[in-house]
């Protein structure tokens, strides 16, 4: 079992933080349709609990979901039983020939994946490019530098039988965002506490555009997926492989 997005945080993220994936879905599907990708295999990197995977399956795509969290994949397999899932690093997993690749909700930023080195991101772009069919597309989003407007911010969110507290701190010099997360989840009569620390490498939009272009992609950036405006500090990329 990995040390990140363990059972309780995976559950809380699924029931309490589904908006990002679900509100993005219509806009991303429209991107695929605009590029005449209405069927075939979509590889969902960092698929989490399978919220976006399920929307792809509903739209009659074949889906391969990849995530490093065993707990998240367990939920995803229950949610989308007709999809294929792997518990693997998205930076090292084999990417089969496919029509599209997605990596939604800043999953390319996470440093708890030991395979997430700066050079492996560029290698991933190359591997995706070669896996995509001509006319295929890569859609993903990242967090940029400046996500935290002040030195440190704290917040919390609660549901029927859970609460999560988050402290965020950005090191601008190192371009690292640290999130300290404490969860309380009711199990039987009592609440169970768990703690996780997530570190994320922050990027600049122009640097990612340059890397994608050098690989051969035709790149477009946006601050929304369709009608859904991304949270502050996020930018989405649509990288097409020429047909």
Q: What is the pLDDT of residues 133-184, one digit of tens each?
A: 999 999 999 999 876 665 568 899 999 999 999 999 999 889 999 999 999 9
Reply yes or no on whether the pLDDT at 118 is more than 80. Answer: no
pLDDT band at 47 (very low <50, low <70, confident <90, very high): very high
pTM for the model: 0.94
Confidence at residue 4, expressed as pLDDT on a 0 to 100 scale = 82
Question: 161 and 141, same structural domain?
Answer: no
Question: 58 and 129, same structural domain?
Answer: yes
Question: 124 and 85, same structural domain?
Answer: yes
Helix (H) or strand (E) holding 212: helix 205-215
Q: Quick: pLDDT tens for 15-24.
A: 999 999 999 9
* CA-wise closest residue to 239 among 35, 33, 27, 92: 35
Per the structure, the count of domains in the chain is 2
Reply yes or no on whether the pLDDT at 190 is more than 90. Answer: yes
| Domain limits for position 45 | 7-145+202-240
Question: 196 and 81, same structural domain?
Answer: no
User: Is 2 inside any structural domain?
Assistant: no
Question: 191 and 208, same structural domain?
Answer: no
Distances (CA, A) of 61 to 53, 82, 84: 9, 11, 12
pLDDT averaged over every residue in the chain: 94
């Amino acid at each position: 079992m990995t040390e990140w997005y363990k059972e309780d945080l995976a559950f809380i993220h699924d029931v309490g933080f589904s908006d990002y994936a679900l509100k993005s879905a219509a806009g991303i599907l429209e991107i695929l349709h605009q590029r005449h990708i209405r069927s075939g295999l979509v590889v969902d990197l960092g698929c989490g609990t399978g919220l976006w995977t399920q929307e792809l399956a509903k739209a009659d795509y074949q889906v391969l979901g990849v995530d490093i969290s065993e707990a998240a994949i367990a939920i995803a397999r229950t949610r989308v039983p007709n999809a294929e899932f792997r518990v693997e690093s998205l930076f090292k997993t084999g990417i089969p020939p496919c029509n599209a690749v997605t990596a939604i909700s800043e999953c390319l930023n996470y440093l708890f994946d030991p395979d997430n080195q700066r050079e492996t991101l560029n290698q991933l772009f190359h591997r995706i490019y070669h896996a995509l069919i001509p006319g295929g597309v890569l859609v993903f989003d990242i967090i940029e530098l400046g996500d935290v407007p002040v030195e440190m911010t704290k917040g919390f969110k609660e549901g029927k039988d859970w609460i999560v507290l988050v402290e965020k701190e950005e090191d601008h010099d190192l371009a690292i965002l640290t999130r300290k997360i404490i969860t309380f989840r009711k199990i039987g009569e009592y609440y169970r506490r768990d703690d996780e620390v997530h570190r994320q490498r922050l990027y600049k939009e122009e640097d990612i555009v340059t890397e994608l272009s050098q690989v051969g992609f035709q790149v477009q950036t946006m601050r929304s997926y369709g009608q859904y405006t991304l949270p502050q500090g996020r930018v989405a990329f649509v990288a097409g492989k020429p047909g």
